[in-house]
């Protein structure tokens, strides 16, 4: 149990992230691209001057989308594997697979779902290019806040657990997280307004697709990485189960 | 039910935490590398540009929108 184990888990995390990225890309292509095209059609119908097209739509929606989602998958896979190494044996009586699933759930909630409650994903045509700098820094700030407060909540829960029991400690830590994040969301400035006439159904469909892509990515990562990590950390448990199945 | 309580269940074994000293170097070097990847997918050629032009932005355009990053 040393540096070599961390390296093995890191490599497996990145591989699991790549695999999860493939699934997320397939989902994104079939579920998300329709609403991106609808938004671009809206953008073009509103006399928006355009420079020459650098990358065609058919490349953006296939190879471009795949590149972005796969690289994102590898990167979050590596970071989540490092978080898993920290969490292992430190967050409660969980085995490798359960720790991987919890890490993935925490990643989905803290890196994506909580930040987008304040700053939701926007399709093309929504968002003023002049405010991009402000929106980018607020989005990064929201992610950082959410991850820091989520980590603090886990530490709080672990500290309260011996005296209060796991159930009460977890609920208290969760409620504290919701309360502090809620205050942060109320204080931070609003995102951009939706342009007049942008179809509400297209916006809803786009945001739902975005949530779906991230849900596919993180859950696939959790299950794939749990399977791969267990083989490194608990080979006896894996062999025992295989023997039981074969008998 | 003496049997079920006596039988050791391998999945409930407590895993020993990995020492922080073993994690730290990987977390620093690979962690930073992964953040650079996220920057290129999520933000390059938006507010800041390390590579000139619009090529990177246009190439990952759809992924950037659908993954939730502010794109333009």
CA of A92 to nearest chain B CA: how many angstroms apart? Answer: 9
Per-10-residue mean pLDDT for chain A, 247 residues long? 90 98 98 94 76 84 96 98 95 93 98 97 90 93 97 96 95 98 96 89 96 98 97 86 80
Query: What tens digit of pLDDT does each residue of B9-62 get?
Result: 554 566 889 999 999 999 999 999 999 999 999 999 988 889 888 899 999 999
Helices (H), chain A: 3-27, 33-45, 57-59, 65-87, 96-107, 114-118, 132-164, 166-187, 200-233, 235-246
Q: Would the CB atoms of B71 and A124 count as touching at under 8 Å?
A: yes
Whole-number pLDDT of residue A236:
82
Calculate the average pLDDT of chain B: 84
The 10 Å Cβ neighbour count of residue A43 is 17
* Per-residue confidence (pLDDT) for residue B1, from 0 to 100: 44
Residue B29: inside a domain, yes or no?
no
In this prediction the pTM is: 0.92
How confident is the model over A181-212, as pLDDT tens digits?
A: 999 999 999 988 898 899 999 999 999 999 99
Query: How far apart are the C-alpha atoms of A80 and A146, rounded to whole Å?
Result: 15
Interface test with A, best of B61, B66, B69, B71 (most A CBs within 10 A): B66
Asked if B64 and B41 touch (Cβ cutoff 8 Å), the reply is: yes
User: Which positions in chain B touch A123 (Cβ < 8 Å)?
Assistant: 65
Residue B63 domain-assigned? Answer: yes
Domain that holds residue B51: 43-67
pLDDT score for A169? 97
pLDDT score recorded for residue A143: 97
- The dihedral built from the CA positions of residue B40, B46, B51 and B54, taken in this order, carries a sign that is positive
In A, minimum Cα distance to B14 occurs at: A93
Predicted confidence (pLDDT) per residue in A131-164, tens digit: 999 999 999 999 999 999 999 999 999 999 999 9
Q: Write the residue in A28, A75, A135 that is nearest to B70 by C-beta.
A: A135
């Amino acid at each position: 149990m040393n540096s070599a184990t961390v390296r093995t888990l890191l490599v497996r995390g990145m591989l699991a992230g790549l695999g999860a990225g493939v699934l997320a890309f397939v989902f994104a292509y079939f579920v998300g691209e329709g609403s991106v095209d609808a938004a671009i059609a809206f953008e073009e119908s509103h006399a928006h001057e355009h420079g020459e097209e650098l990358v065609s739509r058919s490349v953006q929606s296939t190879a471009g989308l795949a590149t972005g989602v796969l690289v994102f998958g590898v990167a979050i896979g590596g970071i989540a594997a490092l978080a898993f190494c920290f969490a292992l044996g430190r967050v409660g009586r969980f085995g490798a697979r359960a720790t991987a699933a919890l890490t993935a759930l925490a990643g989905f909630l803290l890196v994506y779902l909580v930040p987008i409650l304040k700053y939701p994903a926007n399709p093309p045509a929504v968002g003023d290019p002049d405010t991009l700098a402000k929106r980018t820094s607020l989005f990064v700030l929201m992610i950082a806040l959410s991850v820091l407060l989520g980590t603090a909540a886990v530490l709080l829960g672990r500290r309260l657990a011996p005296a209060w029991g796991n159930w009460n400690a977890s609920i208290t830590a969760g409620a504290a997280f919701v309360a502090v994040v809620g205050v942060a969301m109320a204080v931070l400035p609003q995102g951009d307004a939706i342009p007049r006439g942008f179809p509400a159904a297209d916006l809803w469909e786009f945001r739902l697709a975005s949530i779906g892509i991230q849900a596919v990515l993180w859950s696939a990562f959790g299950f794939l990485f749990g399977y791969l990590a267990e083989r490194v950390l608990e080979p006896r448990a894996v062999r025992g189960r295989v023997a039981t199945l074969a008998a | 039910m003496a049997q079920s309580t006596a039988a050791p269940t391998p999945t409930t074994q407590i895993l020993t935490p990995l020492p922080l000293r073993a994690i730290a170097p990987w977390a620093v070097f690979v962690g930073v590398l992964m953040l650079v990847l996220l920057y290129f997918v999520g933000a390059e050629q938006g507010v800041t540009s390390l590579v000139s032009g619009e090529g990177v932005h246009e190439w990952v355009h759809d992924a950037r929108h659908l993954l939730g990053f502010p794109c333009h």
